[in-house]
Amino acid sequence: MKLYVTDLDGTLLDHKAQISILSRDILNREIKNGAVITYATARSIYTSALKTAELNLKAPVITFNGAFIMDPKTGERLVSHFLSEDSVSTAKKYFTEHAEALLVDSCIDGKEKKSWLSSRVNKGIKRFLDERKNDVRLRECNSLDELFYGDVFYITLIAPTAAPEELDEIFFGKNGFTRNYQQDTYNKDEYWYEIYREDVSKANAVRELKSMLGADEVIAFGDNVNDIPMLQAADRGYAVANASDELKAAASGIIRSNEQSGVPVFIANDRCKLWQYDKQDENSLPDTEKFARCATSYVPDNVGIGTLNEKRIHSVLKSYFADTEYDKEIKIGNYYADLVTENGIFEIQTGNFKKLVNKLDSFLQASHVTVVYPFHKTTRLNYTDASTGELLKIGKKVTHNDLTDFFMELYRIKQFLNDPNLTVCMALLTVDNYRFTQKDMKRRKKDRKMSVPTALEKIIYLEGSESYRRFIPDGLPEVFTRKQLAAVLKNCDSSLFIEIMKTVGLIDFAGKNKKEYLYRITM
């Protein structure tokens, strides 16, 4: 059994300290399919549970940098590491002599409490408290005796006045303490000095959890120096692309950033079984003669999906990609596949990819899947007499380049776009649209419409993130805003474009400039 352990802030959570919809969907799919996934964080179970509420976590979680191993559903402490009475006395004596602002975490009557001294509140502590006004653990104290009451397990200084070297003389490898000192993930001008029991660490908690669960292999993920021991204790340890240089140097490898759902994508691909598939040449030319035969031999029937307007295109493409007539409408599990060929399952989807989600969840566990999207590259609108069939007017050909609709369809299945068993195929078509109307050619709601594919101009295969690079426009600066992207991106909604390119790992978040988000192309 593989055990996946991820840090939260800066690793699984994005710059807003949230789990993206993409990360949520990928992780829940993997957990549903048997993956054992958990987290190790400096956060409490209270705040980490708020951040991971939409994840269907089952394995025990590691909180307070390893002070506790806890059940994510019940909040039960399975393993606890409290400071000794001597250590608490030492800490109380030091903070009596040194007027630092601090937070003290303890268990009182079995419940976690986060206490602070009303007379010692600096800017960092105030911000912390203001952000957690509804936290039921908060406990204001008037004395150090009251502050250190209960079973103490964690002490936090935000922006301490003393130098870390001075604090280390008491709290680093001495008097039963160890500590973590690092820059805050979200407030870069603040440093946190966190104190806990000397045998507490994410690394030790991971080892203990591995033993508890009987795991054969631990794969860990992190972003900051405090994650280095955890990555070293794991069988494999990976740094997200936004990680510190020190962590990257200690890691087994570097994966996508937290903004690109690096951890969920890695887990999904690490567990993925690759199905046999003949990869398509991105520059391959369509078989125009075969397509013409399929288009001219179309016979209307009741087989297929969509409206009558879509059925012809759907049916023609199905015939084009089929190896034989017996490949069509094959039941796989609980769903029917449009085609099952020697090169995997094919789904011809003229629109609303949301309908594909359950199918893909099932099909990708059985075969390579190619989703074919008919893109109406060249069209013309013709008018036909509804009574006689007489062609009243032949329209001019129009070329279409706007990819917004296509990218919207990709968005609807974005949790699958990084699956190596998925190919998305754009079939660029020439289409004659017919409107069956009256002699006056005035448009009426009841007019029947029909789309007739007449040629297959090009096929674009999207397999893996690099194949999406073709859509990135020239002229972008190294770091750019959405507005700057929109100025050179003429064929797609810029916000939707960024979302898809982040999903496939080609665009990354690069910070903020006042109120504008900054992005960069991943090389």
pLDDT of residue 307: 40
pLDDT of residue 309: 53
In three-state secondary structure terms, 335 is strand
> Cα–Cα distance between 20 and 9 in angstroms, integer?
13
> Cα–Cα distance between 20 and 24 in angstroms, integer?
6
In three-state secondary structure terms, 78 is strand
Q: List residues bridging with 113 in a β-sheet.
A: 106
pLDDT of residue 305: 40
> Cα–Cα distance between 385 and 381 in angstroms, integer?
14
CB of 447 closer than 8 Å to CB of 437: yes
> Cα–Cα distance between 306 and 318 in angstroms, integer?
14
Where in the sequence of the chain do the CATH 3.30.1240.10 domains occur? 85-197
pLDDT of residue 19: 97
CATH number for domain 85-197, candidates 3.30.1240.10, 3.20.20.220, 3.30.470.10, 3.90.79.10? 3.30.1240.10
Where in the sequence of the chain do the CATH 3.40.50.1000 domains occur? 2-77+201-271
In the chain, the amino acid numbered 485 is L
One digit per residue, pLDDT tens: the chain, 523 residues? Answer: 999 999 999 999 999 999 999 999 999 999 999 999 999 999 999 999 999 999 999 999 999 999 999 999 999 999 999 999 999 999 999 999 999 999 999 999 999 999 999 999 999 999 999 998 889 999 999 999 999 999 999 999 999 999 999 999 999 999 999 999 988 888 878 899 999 999 999 999 999 999 999 999 999 999 999 999 999 999 999 999 999 999 999 999 999 999 999 999 999 999 999 999 988 887 788 999 999 999 998 876 544 443 445 689 999 999 999 988 778 888 998 999 999 999 999 999 998 999 999 999 999 999 999 999 999 999 999 988 888 888 888 889 999 999 999 999 999 999 999 999 999 999 999 999 988 888 777 767 677 888 999 999 999 999 999 999 999 999 999 999 999 999 999 899 999 999 999 999 999 999 998 889 999 999 8
Query: Distance between terminal CA atoms of the chain?
Result: 34
> Cα–Cα distance between 324 and 339 in angstroms, integer?
10
pLDDT of residue 319: 93
Q: Where are the beta strands (DSSP E) in 335-447?
A: 335-341, 344-348, 369-385, 391-393, 398-399, 422-437
Query: What is the reported pTM?
Result: 0.90
CB of 4 closer than 8 Å to CB of 25: no
Which contacts (CB < 8 Å, 24+ apart) does range 321-329 have? 321/346, 321/348, 321/370, 321/372, 322/346, 328/303, 329/303
Q: Which whole-number Å values give the CA distances from 223 to 226, 270, 392, in the listed order?
A: 8, 19, 66
pLDDT of residue 414: 96
Task: Say which CATH architecture domain 2-77+201-271 belongs to.
Answer: 3-Layer(aba) Sandwich (3.40)
